[in-house]
Chain A
Amino acid sequence: MLGFAQTADLEASLERETTSQYLNAHERKSLLRFLTCGSVDDGKSTLIGRLLYDTQLLMEDQLAALAADSRRHGTTGDDLDFALLVDGLASEREQGITIDVAYRFFATEQRKFIVADTPGHEQYTRNMATGASNADLAVILVDARQGILTQTRRHSFIVSLLGIRHVVLAINKIDLIGYSQAVFDQIEASYRSFAEPLGFVSLQAIPLSARYGDNVRSRSAKLPWYQGPTLIEYLESIEVESDRRTAPFRMPVQWVNRPNLDFRGFAGTIAAGVVRPGDRVAVARSGVTTLVKRIVTADGDLPEAGAGEAITLTLEDEIDVSRGDVLAAAAERPEVSDQFAAHVLWMHDEPLIPGRPYLIKLATSVVGAIITHIKHRLDINNFAKLATKTLEKNEVGFINLMTQAPLAFDPYSRVHETGAFIIIDRMTNHTVGAGMIDFSLRRASNIHWQALDVDMNARAIAKGQKPVVLWFTGLSGAGKSTIANLVEKRLHAIGKHTYLLDGDNVRHGLNRDLGFTDADRVENIRRVAEAARLMVDAGLIALASFISPFRAERRMARDLFAEGQFIEIFIDTPLEVAEGRDPKGLYQRARNGLIQNFTGIGSPYERPEAAHVTITPDLSAEEAAELIVSYLDRGSYLGSATG
């Protein structure tokens, strides 16, 4: 309210003057987002409740509700149980657990604070990471009686993984150890030596009692040996504004603003740096450069805008820019790559499996991606690197990632906004993981396909057919191979060029190093799909006959092909029928527990949702083959030479 105090009406009234002074001061407040880590036993919820109480953010009706709750659910006798303030959902309260992240707000004269409260228990890693992703600082609670525990190390590691550089070590329950300086000093020293490799820029240890309020807001007379700031004093004064404005300019484009033919603006939030009209900017992916014309906002054009501001830019030249592009300082551009090394945190019940197709969202881009390799898993208790083939929920791994299209990015350590991504499951759309890019594995420009003179079309024309893969899926014993064989014979008889890929000729050669774990099944299908792709490129009609029980893998296979090049054929034979046939005695062995993960018995078969051709159980193998060949004929796959 810079202009507010100037109005005559206000100056006339002392009371109003007070209000305007208040507004003036509050207008200039900064914002600090911080995270609290620790378990219920450390008094974390109590500390947050205490912060709200001490900054007088609790209203009378809320205090009355708290008093009632404290009597009913509380653990502090007749005292207010501040922990109940930060417990939100009824079902959680009944179960006595908190399962999520809660956000709390309070303010002092200097600052507004947003606190992410991330409870412990099983989901601690996922919850903490969620809270930490938007925090500038972490308050790590330690119970003075316990000292540094495994969980303290765990919390500190996640805080450092998510790039938080400022830490407060709150040594709580100092009242229960007689306000002892010796204990405090010992805990601080041991934490400092432990945290050394975590790269925190600042670390402040504070002795306090959340329950009684010592050193939370007001200085405690019982801790005369402590000369440092109280918790609130420290949170009010710490400078966390990093070098976001001095970094090179980055703005991921969110939305193209085109109200009419005369205006074409690019809306986005500045991720890093500063921009002014006249600056030369590049579209990171295409490399095309131009000059910034205007910085448009509803409050008028700006002479300059910096990190964190939501603006709209217009450019001097009509160049190709759309959502997902990053506008960047032309002199210092982000890297562009389709292969990255990154740390990921897995957050879903279904494990991360290398080779499985996911989507990732990085800044404003959403692209298909697969994790090609898990280099190692990190034990978050002791930072040990462990070999693994999959990542389970709440595990952290260092992985290689390949995207379907090149992305502009910065290493997460340099710019969070252009280095962070989430991983999305293609079927359920759940957010299943979170990642932070460390570096690119190679530049995308090096991997352009070799342009070949004789291409797929040329080969196909020579063969008088349209190349395609026929993907047969269904239970073991459904009749996939029998039908595929019949189809191939018929095609061969009319002079078509074909090749049949099935378990037998692939498992003994190309894929003989693979077993039957979920991860190996995914890799099996990936290799088969790639082999089929080469055959289609060679102009062949490829027949692939594999159980391929998971939708995600069939989708991955399908995504390798152009529209019309992949025909999914579902051999819909019920389990009882297939098991009755049991040509290789596999069902019997699975029922006897001799084969683990057998599809239909120990592992699910996910039915196709939209197969091109479905073969129902009432058809004979001959009829099924006839149906498939006529489908191909109708789709003009067989050229003019068909009979």
Chain B
Amino acid sequence: MTLAPQALATVPIASRRPGPSSPSLTHLQRLEAESIHIIREVAAELRNPVMLYSVGKDSAVMLHLAMKAFHPSPLPFPLLHIDTTWKFKEMIRFRDETVARLGLNLLVRRNEAGLAEGITPFTHSSSIYTQIMKTEALKSALSSFGFDAAFGGARRDEEKSRAKERVFSLRSENHGWDPKNQRPELWNLYNGRLRPGESVRVFPLSNWTETDIWQYIMREQIPIVSLYFAAKRPVVERGGQWIMVDDDRLPLRPGEVPEMRSVRFRTLGCYPLTAATESTAATLPEVLQEMLATRTSERSGRLIDHDEAASMEKKKREGYF
């Protein structure tokens, strides 16, 4: 797979568990148990859940936790991937590989109307493009399958407006999010009761940080897309950021010549909207090393966040994850 060989070295399973002599759980064990608890509650209480699978590292961790939650049973719900058709090729390859390896039921949805209208990251602003190709496609997929719960991999540490997000986030019939209509969440008692048409977005990774995610990926040896590791890739520089030329659909501006540079990605999305960082970190330990020394937050690589102040919150009200 795409893991660095060092990280695949087998670690005896017994050594990863606390023995009888180590009574208190480590932070990763507590986070893992909390996430599994949340995922099981949804499977038990909601009628028709689905797990959103974005192919990124957070999705990888969420999927791994779900597999653990129901072991030895298969996942009792399908995965849903919203394909804008602009994802990195490597993401799609990895997605299909993962589905085959774990025997998953994957649904893929696109906004065909948007495609027919020729909406691309180049013809429209990133916020309009995201709204139509991602948010609308997601809403319509959730409605057409009648899903009443959708797992997402969002974390509270990602962005300010997410710090207050519930684990169970209630959405109205049109998938809107009303900050004033969210239920209090006490203890580990989640209220999954819905009125007709309502749904919940569920965030089992709410309390994880980016560091936790990487540590857990290492501990559990979870395969992730190779784009997270540095390699020579064809890129162009735009507005001080490196954009990868993933295929020949990227319109080159006058004077732009793709050059090969050693880059990697901290977060993944549509390739024209995802900036790479220059890096030589080609293995998991090196990525961690680099991350510990870094001084920018991961969302800074997402171009959509720069659009306007409080942009995430606005998108959330409109139904973006």
Can you list, as one digit per residue, whether each of B1-36 has a CB less than 8 Å from chain A (1) or not (0)? 000011001111111110010011111111111001
- Give how many A-B residue pairs fall within 8 Å (CB-CB): 226
Residues on B with C-beta less than 8 A from A101 are 164
Residue among B20, B30, B187 with the highest chain A CB neighbour number at 10 A? B187
Measured in the bound complex, the distance between the Cα atoms of B29 and A306 in whole Å is: 12
A105 within 8 A of B: yes
B185 within 8 A of A: yes
Q: Is the CB of B179 within 8 A of A19?
A: no
Tell which of B113-121, B133-141, B289-297 binds the partner. Answer: B289-297
Q: Is the CB of A269 within 8 A of B17?
A: no
Q: Is the CB of A297 within 8 A of B68?
A: yes
Can you list, as one digit per residue, whether each of A1-31 has a CB less than 8 Å from chain B (1) or not (0)? 1111011011000011011101100111111
Can you list, as one digit per residue, whether each of B181-201 has a CB less than 8 Å from chain A (1) or not (0)? 011111111010111000000
Tell me the nearest residue of chain B to A133, going by C-beta: B186
How close is B49's CB to chain A, nearest CB, in angstroms? Answer: 12
Measured in the bound complex, the distance between the Cα atoms of B212 and A89 in whole Å is: 25
Residues on B with C-beta less than 8 A from A3 are 9-12, 15-16
Quick one: which of A26, A126, A366, A416 contacts B184, CB cutoff 8 A?
A126
Residue among B10, B189, B314 with the highest chain A CB neighbour number at 10 A? B189
How close is B19's CB to chain A, nearest CB, in angstroms? Answer: 8
A431/B184 contact (C-beta < 8 A), A29-B26, A269-B37 known:
yes
Measured in the bound complex, the distance between the Cα atoms of B163 and A105 in whole Å is: 9
Tell me the nearest residue of chain B to A241, going by C-beta: B24
B73 within 8 A of A: yes
A134 within 8 A of B: yes
A26/B296 contact (C-beta < 8 A), A87-B160, A133-B186, A347-B184 known:
no
Tell me the nearest residue of chain B to A22, going by C-beta: B292
Residues on B with C-beta less than 8 A from A30 are 24-27
Measured in the bound complex, the distance between the Cα atoms of B16 and A308 in whole Å is: 16
Residues on A with C-beta less than 8 A from B93 are none
Q: Is the CB of A61 within 8 A of B191?
A: no
Residues on B with C-beta less than 8 A from A224 are none
Residues on A with C-beta less than 8 A from B43 are 255
Measured in the bound complex, the distance between the Cα atoms of B25 and A107 in whole Å is: 16
Tell which of A191-199, A418-426, A543-551, A612-620 binds the partner. Answer: A418-426
Q: Is the CB of A297 within 8 A of B288?
A: no
Residues on A with C-beta less than 8 A from B294 are 59
Residues on B with C-beta less than 8 A from A29 are 26-27
Residues on A with C-beta less than 8 A from B85 are none
Tell me the nearest residue of chain A to B37, going by C-beta: A269
How close is A281's CB to chain B, nearest CB, in angstroms? Answer: 19
Residues on A with C-beta less than 8 A from B14 are 300
How close is B97's CB to chain A, nearest CB, in angstroms? Answer: 20
Residues on B with C-beta less than 8 A from A245 are 23
Q: Is the CB of A361 within 8 A of B191?
A: yes
Q: List 30 A-B pairs, Cβ < 8 Å.
A: A3-B12, A4-B11, A7-B9, A19-B292, A23-B215, A26-B211, A30-B26, A31-B27, A59-B295, A59-B300, A61-B300, A86-B163, A87-B160, A88-B160, A88-B162, A89-B164, A90-B314, A104-B163, A105-B156, A112-B27, A134-B188, A254-B37, A255-B70, A269-B36, A299-B13, A359-B193, A363-B189, A420-B189, A429-B194, A431-B183
A61-B296, A431-B184 are known contacts; what are 18 more A-B pairs with Cβ within 8 Å? A1-B219, A22-B292, A29-B26, A60-B295, A88-B313, A89-B313, A130-B184, A255-B44, A263-B72, A267-B40, A268-B40, A299-B16, A302-B17, A309-B33, A312-B71, A424-B191, A431-B183, A431-B185
Give chain B's interface residues, CB within 8 Å of chain A. 5-6, 9-17, 20, 23-33, 36-37, 40-41, 43-44, 67-74, 156-157, 160-164, 179-180, 182-189, 191, 193-195, 206-207, 209, 211-212, 215, 218-219, 285-286, 288-289, 292, 294-297, 300, 309-310, 313-314
Give chain A's interface residues, CB within 8 Å of chain B. 1-4, 6-7, 9-10, 15-16, 18-20, 22-23, 26-31, 59-62, 85-93, 99-105, 107, 111-112, 114, 126, 129-130, 133-134, 241, 245, 254-255, 257-259, 263, 265, 267-269, 296-300, 302-304, 306, 308-310, 312, 323, 347, 359, 361-364, 366, 416-417, 420-422, 424, 428-431, 434
